[in-house]
């Protein structure tokens, strides 16, 4: 193995560890937001004692932010519930993004049961890249939908929401990149068929 190959292999292993770490952290965040959402819905005592005392004016996750205080400065449980549910969905979609990124790296290294050698141009990598694009587009859609729901539930005069549509652009770029990898995979099959 050359020095360059060793360096590339080391960087790939580091990236594989970090993608798994981010997947786990995003899953933990999604679970925590789901639990908080259920608590907000089911327990009015928690709504007034816990959420009412925490000095939170605005919450943010990824590109989605929302003002959760009412006109009197207290926490609005409806706004908080909308934010927590939307945030849980966004975090779970991001966990899936990092899951697929981890699988792509491991498949490229030939470490998964569906790997076909040590090449990035594999059918499953193309599929997972497309899924990453769909997940990013889904995040943008979730942000837009929950921003609209917040305006409807809280009221247009009180709702202060923000949704980042950058995920939509990243998703489209990932779909385009997956097409390049699909072409590379087809060319790889053609070369392997000649040999």
pLDDT per residue as tens digits for the range 31-83: 999 998 998 888 765 555 555 555 667 888 888 888 887 777 777 788 888 89
From the number of C-beta atoms within 10 Å of its C-beta (0-12, 13-18, 19+), residue 191 rates as exposed
Model confidence at 147, pLDDT cuts 50, 70, 90, reads confident
pLDDT of residue 47: 57
Pairing of strands 161-162, 64-67: antiparallel
Q: Looking at residues 174-188, what average pLDDT do you find?
A: 88
The three-state (H, E, C) secondary structure of the chain, written as one string: CCHHHHHHHHHHHHHHHHHHHHHHHHHHHHHHHHHHHHHHHHCHHHHHHHHCCCCCCEEEECCEEEECECCCCCECHHHHHHHHHHHHHHHHHHHHHHHHHHHHHHHHCCCCCCCCCCCCCCHHHHHHHHHHHHHHHHHHHHHHHHHHHHHHHHCCCCCCEECCCHHHHHHHHHHHHHHHHHHHHHHHHHHHHHC
Distance CA 76, CA 69 (A): 5
The pTM of this model reads 0.86
The pLDDT of residue 111 is above 70: yes
Q: Looking at residues 133-140, what average pLDDT do you find?
A: 95
The pLDDT of residue 177 is above 60: yes
* Residues paired with residue 66 on neighbouring β-strands, in sequence order: 59, 161
- Decide if 105 contacts 52 (C-beta within 8 A): no
50-59, 97-106, 152-161, 168-177: lowest mean pLDDT where?
50-59
Quote the mean pLDDT of the chain. Answer: 85
């Amino acid at each position: 193995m050359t020095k360059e190959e060793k360096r590339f292999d080391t960087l790939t292993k580091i990236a594989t560890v970090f993608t798994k770490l981010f997947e786990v952290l995003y899953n933990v965040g999604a679970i925590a937001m789901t639990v908080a959402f259920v608590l907000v819905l089911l327990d009015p005592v928690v709504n007034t004692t816990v959420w009412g005392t925490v000095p939170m004016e605005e919450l943010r996750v990824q590109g989605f932010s929302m003002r959760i205080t009412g006109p009197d400065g207290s926490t609005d449980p409806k706004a908080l519930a909308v934010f927590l549910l939307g945030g849980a969905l966004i975090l779970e979609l991001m966990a899936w993004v990092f899951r697929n990124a981890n699988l792509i790296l491991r498949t490229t290294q030939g470490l998964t049961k569906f790997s076909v050698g040590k090449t990035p141009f594999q059918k499953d990598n193309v599929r997972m890249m497309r899924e990453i694009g769909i997940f990013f587009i889904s995040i943008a859609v979730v942000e837009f939908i929950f921003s609209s729901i917040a305006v409807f539930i809280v009221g247009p005069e009180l709702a202060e929401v923000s949704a980042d549509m950058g995920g939509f652009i990243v998703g489209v770029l990932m779909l385009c990149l997956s097409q390049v990898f699909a072409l590379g995979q087809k060319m790889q099959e053609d070369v392997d068929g000649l040999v």
